[in-house]
């Protein structure tokens, strides 16, 4: 029984490069982001992993990263599903703003509160708690049953939608998740026990 879950944050996007709040906007991958996706695929291929199914958010930077990874692994035709449940946080009125400009306008403390608190929303946007409320039911209803049947699953998503899953997988608190950063292209491997708890975790580095 595999029960292997792999989480990957999408490669660098054009708005990551420009240091902009991205949220549900849909910029493309940069050349660096494309290479990060290829590198993730190479690392997973080197581990000898064979996926049964892939998932991504409904945003191009995640969908394209998933496609590149699977092509790099020689598995371009496995079933893959894109879902808004795995989308990045909606940053509301911050979307499209440069993060340094936002700090100058509202101050470091306020911007950090919007970015890293668990339940404080940016203006007309989502908190991490809101993101958990849509990502976790999708994981529990769609993905976890497949894992417990022994499937090997790949999820490509975003910093905050993946942090939402880490709260459960790594048993993190709202306080500890605030200090957790996920770099673009990062690869996290989880092997689950039959009761859904984590038997082993590995971070792959190129």
Give catalytic residue positions. 10, 88
Tokens representing residue 206 in the block: 């190129």
Distance CA 148, CA 3 (A): 6
Determine contact, residues 26/95, Cβ cutoff 8 Å: no
Residues 182-198 as b or e (16 or more Cβ within 10 Å = b): bebbbbbbbbbeeeeee
Distance CA 173, CA 161 (A): 15
Distance CA 61, CA 119 (A): 26
Among 90, 14, 24, CA closest to 58: 24
Distance linking the first and last C-alpha atoms of the chain: 27
Count Cβ atoms below 10 Å from residue 157 Cβ, excluding itself. Answer: 29
Among 7, 9, 1, 2, CA closest to 181: 9
Residue entry with tokens 């999708």? 138
């Amino acid at each position: 029984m595999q029960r292997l879950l792999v989480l990957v944050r999408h490669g660098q996007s054009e708005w990551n490069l420009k240091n902009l709040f991205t949220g549900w906007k849909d910029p493309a991958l940069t050349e660096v982001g494309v290479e990060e996706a290829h590198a993730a695929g190479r690392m997973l291929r080197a581990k000898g992993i064979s996926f049964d199914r892939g998932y991504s958010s409904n945003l191009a930077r995640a969908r394209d990263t998933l496609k590149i990874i699977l092509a790099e692994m020689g598995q371009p035709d496995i079933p893959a599903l894109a879902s808004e449940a795995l989308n990045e946080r909606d940053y509301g009125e911050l979307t499209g703003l440069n993060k340094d400009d936002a700090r100058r306008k509202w101050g470091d403390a306020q911007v950090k509160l919007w970015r890293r608190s668990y339940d404080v929303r940016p203006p007309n946007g989502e908190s991490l708690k809101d993101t958990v409320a849509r990502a976790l039911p999708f994981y529990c209803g769609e993905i976890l049953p497949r894992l417990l049947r022994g499937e090997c699953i790949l999820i490509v998503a975003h910093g905050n939608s993946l942090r939402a899953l880490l709260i459960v997988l790594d048993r993190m608190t709202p306080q500890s998740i605030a200090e957790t950063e996920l770099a673009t292209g990062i690869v996290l491997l989880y092997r689950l026990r039959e009761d859904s708890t984590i038997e082993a975790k590995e971070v792959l580095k190129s």
